């Protein structure tokens, strides 16, 4: 059984809609378990084979919860090396957060990342929600059949 975490933050529900679609797409069969959550402890990260993070951009930054999560995971020496990683998020005009998180996954934690991040301008439309499902599916398929 492979485990996928879909971790997200959302103040007005836009990134949450994306997260629901990513989680739905990731559940491709009974060999994949998907946890959709808005908070985990740094040590919880070790138990997942893939970590997909949904982050809206506020003030050109990622949510402070995710900054703290990564800083604490680094300080605690938690290894995420080789795990699958992907990011997505809603934005208004600049959309830095998913890119910043993907950079940390790749450069600090040496995760296998799916690039580029998936962005939705404000409320995700049907096309973007389909792309979210595809992103979840792709990560799940990578776990079952490594590229
Ligand atoms: C106070 C405030 C600051 C924001 N700053 C940014 C920003 O720096 N860049 C950007 O692309 N969008 C910015 N936005 C727009 C949000 O990213 C956008 O509303 C997004 O859909 C929120 O996602 P959520 O519903 O998941 O919280 C900001 C919105 C607010 C209310």
On whether the CB atoms of residues 129 and 16 are closer than 8 A, the answer is: no
Q: Which of 7, 14, 64, 91 to mutate to test the pocket of ligand 1 (most atoms within 8 A of CB)?
A: 91
Tokens read off for 124: 């995700």
Name the residue range of residue 103's domain: 2-144
Q: What is the mean pLDDT of residues 114-139?
A: 98
Distance CA 54, CA 66 (A): 10
Tokens 């389909």 belong to 130
**For residue 57, which atom of ligand 1 is closest to its CA?**
17
Tokens read off for 85: 């990683």
pLDDT of residue 72: 98
On whether the CB atoms of residues 70 and 108 are closer than 8 A, the answer is: yes
Atom 21 (ligand 1): residue with closest C-alpha? Answer: 122
**Residues in CB range of 10: below 8 A, 6 or more apart:** 16, 19, 38, 54, 56, 90
58 lines ligand 1 (CB under 6 A): yes
**pTM (2 decimals)?**
0.98
Say whether pLDDT at 129 is over 80.
yes
Nearest to 12 by CA among 64, 56, 68, 66: 56
95 lines ligand 1 (CB under 6 A): yes
On whether the CB atoms of residues 101 and 111 are closer than 8 A, the answer is: no
For the stretch 22-46, pLDDT in tens is 999 999 999 999 999 999 999 999 9
On whether the CB atoms of residues 57 and 27 are closer than 8 A, the answer is: no
* CATH number where 18 lies: 3.40.50.360
pLDDT of residue 4: 98
pLDDT of residue 133: 98
**Mean pLDDT rounded to a whole number for the chain:** 98
87 lines ligand 1 (CB under 6 A): no
| Residue 121 CA, ligand 1 centroid: distance in Å | 9
| Residue 59 CA, ligand 1 centroid: distance in Å | 7
Atom 30 (ligand 1): residue with closest C-alpha? Answer: 58
- Give how many domains the chain has, as a whole number: 1
């Amino acid at each position: 059984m492979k485990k996928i975490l879909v971790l997200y933050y959302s103040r007005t529900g836009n990134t949450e809609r994306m997260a629901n679609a990513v989680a739905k797409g990731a559940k491709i069969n009974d060999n994949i378990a998907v946890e959709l959550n808005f908070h985990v402890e740094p040590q919880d990260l070790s138990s997942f084979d893939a970590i997909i993070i949904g982050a809206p951009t506020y003030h050109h930054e990622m949510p402070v919860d995710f900054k703290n999560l990564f800083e604490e995971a680094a300080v605690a020496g938690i290894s995420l090396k080789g795990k699958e990683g992907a990011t997505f998020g809603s934005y208004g005009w600049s959309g830095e957060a998913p890119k910043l998180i993907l950079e940390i996954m790749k450069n600090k934690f040496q995760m296998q990342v799916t690039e580029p991040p998936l962005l939705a301008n404000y409320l995700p439309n049907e096309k973007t929600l389909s792309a979210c499902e595809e992103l979840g599916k792709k990560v799940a398929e990578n776990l079952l059949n490594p590229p």
